[in-house]
A and B are shown apart, each in its own frame.
Chain A
Amino acid sequence: MAESYRRSQWSNGLFVLPYLAVFLVLLVFPLVWGAWLSLHKVDLFGPGRFVGLANYGRVLADPVFLQALRNTVVFVLVSVPSLVALGLFLALALNKTTRATSFLRALFFSSSVLSVTIVTLIWRFVFIPGDGLLAVISEQLGIAPVNFLSTSGWSLFSVGVATVWWCLGLPMMLFLAALQQIPSDLYEAAALDNAGPWRVLTRVTLPSIARTIMLVTIIQIVMQFQLFGQAQLMTNGGPNGTSRPLVMYIYEVGFVRWDVGKAAAASEFLFLIILVAAMAQYLVSTRKSEVSE
């Protein structure tokens, strides 16, 4: 009995093995290798020379890195709250089952399945000077057209608009799922308690989905810090690097200028930032939910 029990435990472990292998090869190994690379002066042709933390120093002293860092932080600070707020708004608006809401849910979610290439193509049609949708509209209205993709400030904004449009489906769906978990008798009790729509929202609905709001925020922080494709394809980081995000900086340093060690060091910074941001959210949320229960 004991023998077969122990054997069965071993064989249980076998089921995890394939994933464990993939996890080690594709995640842990690159992580460790990246850390190793960041301590060396490497190019793609020769084995590196150990330089200690020199790469990190070079990254921190690089004004282009600092600019990209600032761009990315600004981008995250604006896009993540927008995604959470808009996702929540849409979920609240579509939290009924009628044919119209089902159609709209599907419609809003459909943008999420598009590839980044198609998303940027669509939004280039909107923002491009001359023939773009906004240019045509502002011409009709007699307003001087803005060159969205190559004006400092507007370019990062345009990337943000495209990103929010692209990523909105997931927050909306997660919020909808959470809203549907709220028992309907809570709303009935609130109706008997004379609660107006605002009180219902703030005292019943939002507290009930607080965990999901946290979850969506963490997911979006992690995702939006990794902004790359949209910026690359819409503005190519311009003008003057004002829309260049961190990942694009890493890509340019590593694969355009082949300074792999420095790129690895910058990656470690990005990894650390995402880790800290996610952990902070996590800590705040667990503390809050402990208080609330």
Chain B
Amino acid sequence: MSASIEITNVTKRYGALTVLDDVSLSIEAGEFVVFLGPSGCGKSTLLRMIAGLEDVTAGTIAVGGERVDTLPPGKRGVAMVFQSYALYPHMTVAQNMSFGLENIGMAKAEIGRRVEQAAATLEIAHLLDRKPAKLSGGQRQRVAIGRAIVKEPKAFLFDEPLSNLDAALRGRTRLELAQLHARLGSTMIFVTHDQVEAMTLADRIVIMHDRKIEQIGTPMEIYQRPASRFVAGFVGSPAMNFVPVKGVNENGGTLRIETCGLGDVAAAIRLPARFSPEGGCLGIRAEDVTVLPAGEAGIPLKADVVERLGDRTLIYGQLADGTKLAAETDGRSEARSGDTLQIALDTSALHLFDAAGIAHHAGGD
């Protein structure tokens, strides 16, 4: 039932505007893949091209080994859940779910069986005779998912399906989607610009930016070993700290990185021979910056804003030369804005970016 998806050298242009430029991606059968990226980066466009709602300017798309980019949407064996749900307003919930099956001439009994089963799974059996206008947002969402499930598609495509739900419902639906994926084992592609959704749902995340795929990886790879400065800054909250680099000296496996603000930092980063520090920067996440207990000497950080989140405290401050830096410490911290704190860096979690944004990580390349 589930199928692999192969996207090969796909380009999309609207007139002179190139939205996707030579994108390739291969998704395994049964995988849950999330497209993550800032607004307007082409996530929906790529998803809609898989669904057949947009033409492919160049390149090919195959589902389950069969080339589909020339087929009409209904013949590709994929089902899509729209952000707006796109339920047919004049049909009941049951009719909404059976419409697609009737269109392919499926037997009435089989349609009834599938609709009932999906309704039971999604706990919407009591809503089958209602029209969409008489449903809550969360219920509509379930119907939209139900309409996809009954088709038993080779792949599910979701375009920001949770963005119209309130925070509590979004969290719950997210969990249910994960369970649904575990039970059905279908290939799923999920578009979002919400990092939490991406991190929690995905087997692999596809980070898209500026007409390209920036990185493909598991949530942990994306978080711990971002391929570029863009990914590093986009994933994680608060965003990764970036400190400008003045120069690097390599001696005997460790690297001495001269920075503005943090002084000289030693890190076990292996650099390629032609690495140039010009325009580069050092990246470190707030949780890898430790606030030292009073009396210990480290790097001074003048706190500007202190955010208390209960379980942890975020401190946004300035280094001696004015470079901004965020640090995370535990929830009982008594730091107040205006204080000058002493900090230390976890040098095993440093990232070095060159001027082009290419990343080099501590403890690897």
Contact = CB atoms under 8 A, between A and B. Distances in A.
B52 A203 contact: no
Contact of B88 (A186, A196, A210, A293): A186
A57 interface: no
A189 B86 contact: yes
Given A193-B99, A194-B100, A204 B84 contact: no
B86 A195 contact: no
B331 interface: no
A183 B84 CA distance: 10
Interface residues of B, number: 26
Given A207-B90, A293-B133, A195 B84 contact: no
Contact of A188 (B82, B104, B131): B82
B79 A192 contact: yes
Given A185-B82, A292-B131, A192 B88 contact: no
**Chain A interface helix/strand/loop/mixed:** helix
Nearest to A293: B133
A196 B86 contact: no
A188 to B, nearest CB: 5
B74 A192 contact: yes
Given A208-B90, A292-B131, A191 B84 contact: no
A207 B92 CA distance: 13
B137 interface: no
B103 A191 contact: no
A42 B237 CA distance: 89
Interface string A162-198: 0000000000000000000001011011111111100
B79 A195 contact: no
Given A188-B53, A191-B73, A199 B84 contact: no
B89 A192 contact: no
A292 B88 contact: no
Contacts of B199: none
Contacts of A193: 74, 99-100, 103, 147
Contact of B86 (A185, A194, A199, A203): A185
B301 interface: no
Given A192-B79, A193-B74, A186 B86 contact: yes
Contact of A203 (B78, B99, B147): B99
B349 interface: no
Nearest to B90: A207
Interface in B69-118: 72-75, 78-80, 82, 84, 86-91, 99-100, 103-104
A197 to B, nearest CB: 12
Contacts of B84: 183, 185
Contacts of B74: 191-195
A208 to B, nearest CB: 7
A99 B99 CA distance: 35
Interface string B4-33: 000000000000000000000000000000
B51 interface: yes
Given A204-B88, A208-B90, A293-B131, A192 B103 contact: no
Interface in B126-176: 131, 133-134, 147
B270 to A, nearest CB: 49
A63 B147 CA distance: 62
A192 B51 contact: yes
Given A194-B103, A203-B91, A203-B99, A189 B82 contact: yes
A190 B99 CA distance: 9
Contacts of B72: 191
Query: Which of A189, A208, A210, A292 counts the most B-chain CB atoms under 10 A from its CB?
Result: A189
Nearest to B144: A189
B220 to A, nearest CB: 34
Nearest to B91: A203
B99 A191 contact: no
B91 A191 contact: no
B103 A196 contact: yes
B13 to A, nearest CB: 20
Interface string A186-230: 101111111110010001100110100000000000000000000
Contacts of B91: 203
B89 A195 contact: no
B111 to A, nearest CB: 13
Nearest to A187: B86
Contact of A183 (B51, B75, B86, B100): B86
A191 B99 CA distance: 11
Contacts of B80: 188-189, 192
A190 B89 CA distance: 12
B77 to A, nearest CB: 10
A214 to B, nearest CB: 14
A289 to B, nearest CB: 10
A186 to B, nearest CB: 6
A192 B72 CA distance: 8
22 contacts: A183-B84, A185-B84, A188-B51, A188-B86, A189-B80, A191-B52, A191-B74, A192-B53, A192-B73, A192-B74, A194-B100, A194-B103, A195-B100, A196-B103, A199-B103, A203-B88, A203-B90, A203-B91, A210-B90, A292-B131, A293-B131, A293-B134
Given A192-B100, A293-B134, 15 more contacts: A185-B82, A188-B51, A188-B80, A189-B80, A189-B82, A189-B147, A191-B73, A192-B73, A193-B74, A193-B103, A194-B75, A194-B100, A194-B103, A194-B104, A204-B88
Q: Which 8 A-B pairs have the closest CB atoms?
A: A194-B74, A193-B100, A207-B90, A185-B86, A194-B103, A189-B86, A191-B73, A192-B73
